[in-house]
Amino acid sequence: MPELRNSTYRHLEVSPIAGTIGAEIAGVDLAQDLPEEVMGEIRQALLDNLVIFFRDQKLEPDRQLAFARRWGEIHLHPFMQGMEKYPEVLEIRKTPADKVNFGGEWHSDQAFAPKPAMGTILYGVEIPSAGGDTLFTNLYRAYEALSPSMQRMLEKVKGVYRGNNLSGHDGQSREKFYAGRLAMKTRDPGDVQTTSTHPLVRTHPETGRKALFVGGHLHKFEDMSEAESRPLIDFLMRHATRPEFTCRFRWNSGSLAFWDNRCTMHFAINDYPAETRIMHRVTVCGDTPY
């Protein structure tokens, strides 16, 4: 069933790219100090489409940060170092020497934090000639497509989300996992909390809709063992990433994606072994899931 994305826009051109998630936005230059009425329409487009894409933007890190600050406080990644001159901007870099990429599993950004990220703003600096696409999935639809009995059961469940839980870590710290394998610098999270417990079904604070809150950071369910939790987690991940809930974005240099972590997951595809991909990411702080 397609989403109802019928908002009226006066300042933007909004073109959905898939039936349930994702739209390209035209008619706006994000490097400018946009008036409030334009920002309001961008917010509505984000709420309607969950992830929005802008082409042919020219954004230096300071302008990307200026746009991001219109949405809230900027989040600093606890495990990865930001750019030297712009510590709030994370340069996601993969070169031909790297075997793994950053974000190469279905996840929501910072799900392990006490207040997971509200949104992520990712800008394409250097893009492979082919490959390096990003997949997104609609977690509203994933929840709504479950049976009523499963919905009722899951609404009582809380998940334990860990910062070093992504598959392939094999229990290693994120620092050890990425050391020497990415053209990126890690850092010690210090006393930053990187394990949190959240509802498995969360309510979006702006739309009021319920969404599954799953992803690669979900370690287990509260008061259950890992072995007891894993079969249901695996089912929910397969279910949440069904093709009809997803869209795929092909990047160009100058493209920007802005997604709502409160109701989406994303997956950065690692299919460009002989090329370089460089992205600039700014993450906006969120609130406590309920």
- Catalytic residue numbers? 107, 109, 266, 281
Distance CA 14, CA 119 (A): 19
* Residues facing residue 81 across a β-bridge: none
What number of CA atoms fall less than 13 Å from residue 92's CA on the CB side? Answer: 21
Q: Are 49 and 134 spatial neighbours (Cβ–Cβ below 8 Å)? A: no
Q: Are 290 and 203 spatial neighbours (Cβ–Cβ below 8 Å)? A: yes
Residue 208, exposed/middle/buried by CB under 10 A (0-12, 13-18, 19+)? Answer: exposed
Distance CA 202, CA 139 (A): 10
List of residues 6+ apart from 199 with CB closer than 8 A:
155, 157, 158, 159, 213, 289, 290
Q: Are 246 and 64 spatial neighbours (Cβ–Cβ below 8 Å)? A: no
DSSP helix/strand/coil, 44: helix
The pair of structure tokens assigned to 234 is 């695996």
